[in-house]
Amino acid sequence: MRRSHIEDRLITEQELDTEVAEAYRSIRTSLHYACFHNDTTSLLFTSSVAGEGKSTVVSNMGILTALEDKKVLLIDADLRRPNLHHLFRTGNRTGLSTILTGYSEAEPCIQQTHLKNLFLLPSGPIQPHPTELLGSARFERMLAALRKEYEAVYIDSPAILSVTDAAILARYVQGIVLIVRPLLARKEHLKKSQRIFEPFSNKIVGVVMNGKTDKS
Ligand SMILES: Nc1ncnc2c1ncn2[C@@H]1O[C@H](COP(=O)(O)OP(=O)(O)O)[C@@H](O)[C@H]1O
Ligand SMILES: [Mg+2]
């Protein structure tokens, strides 16, 4: 796997014996126990504020799951500040926004990444009303169809406290993973996002502490 295919912060096959890969593997194992016995395939990765590591964590989880021989789809549902096409160095001319505005079916917008089992549905071009797009019946139908084709569907999203998009996405998925970066998320942020996600508390399958140090 050549570095030129992906950004530095993604793990490669050559790095599977590193501490970072090990940390991701233990998250993967916990999620496996929390979800896969009851056939959970769609997981939303979100956090209270921007910059806590949603895009990084969802991408590395996708890589590790794909390397375990599962067919994985990553969806970039951060329609405001999309990032996954940068991380995987794919195009973004068509994607989720193209499907939700009715200009395409899902399949032509899905791209193969550098890994055989890992696929990406990028955000697509920025559109004026992302919240409405994500809330449309089209999204739900699309996700239901994709879940039949992929063994795992991992969804990247905007932060809970910045816009309502994450709470909308939470309705459709089977499980939610919260990323918390203690350096960025203050207690009041966590309390607020907990309140917003209260209706979906039974779907929260994991909390990932990202970049925790002894001081934080
Ligand atoms: N544990 C960490 N330590 C240092 N930098 C990190 C860590 N996790 C993420 N980052 C960096 O923080 C920035 C934001 O991460 P990103 O995954 O894009 O967050 P989000 O998608 O939640 O906005 C990126 O530059 C990323 O490399
Ligand atoms: Mg992001």
163 has pLDDT over 60: yes
pLDDT band at 128 (very low <50, low <70, confident <90, very high): very high
- For the CA of 47, the closest atom of ligand 1 is 22
Closest residue by Cα to atom 11, ligand 1, is: 53
Query: Cα–Cα distance between 46 and 178 in angstroms, integer?
Result: 5
What's the average model confidence in pLDDT over 159-175?
96
Closest residue by Cα to atom 14, ligand 1, is: 51
pLDDT band at 36 (very low <50, low <70, confident <90, very high): low
What's the average model confidence in pLDDT over 185-196?
95
Taking the centre of ligand 2 as the mean of its atom positions, its distance from the CA of residue 158, in whole angstroms, is 6
Report the pLDDT value the prediction gives residue 216, as an integer from 0 to 100. Answer: 46
Residue pointed to by tokens 């917008």? 109
More confident residue, 120 or 4: 120
Task: State if residue 56 touches ligand 1 by the CB under 6 angstroms criterion.
Answer: yes
Query: Cα–Cα distance between 161 and 88 in angstroms, integer?
Result: 26
Taking the centre of ligand 2 as the mean of its atom positions, its distance from the CA of residue 156, in whole angstroms, is 7
132 has pLDDT over 70: yes
- For the CA of 50, the closest atom of ligand 1 is 23
Query: Cα–Cα distance between 161 and 190 in angstroms, integer?
Result: 9
Taking the centre of ligand 1 as the mean of its atom positions, its distance from the CA of residue 52, in whole angstroms, is 6
Query: Cα–Cα distance between 127 and 17 in angstroms, integer?
Result: 41
pLDDT band at 205 (very low <50, low <70, confident <90, very high): very high
pTM of the model: 0.95
Closest residue by Cα to atom 1, ligand 1, is: 211
Which pair of structure tokens corresponds to residue 63? 């890589």
The overall average pLDDT reported for the chain is: 93
Backbone angles phi, psi at 46, to 5 degrees: -145, 175
12 has pLDDT over 50: yes
1 has pLDDT over 70: no
Taking the centre of ligand 2 as the mean of its atom positions, its distance from the CA of residue 51, in whole angstroms, is 7
Taking the centre of ligand 1 as the mean of its atom positions, its distance from the CA of residue 105, in whole angstroms, is 32
pLDDT band at 187 (very low <50, low <70, confident <90, very high): very high
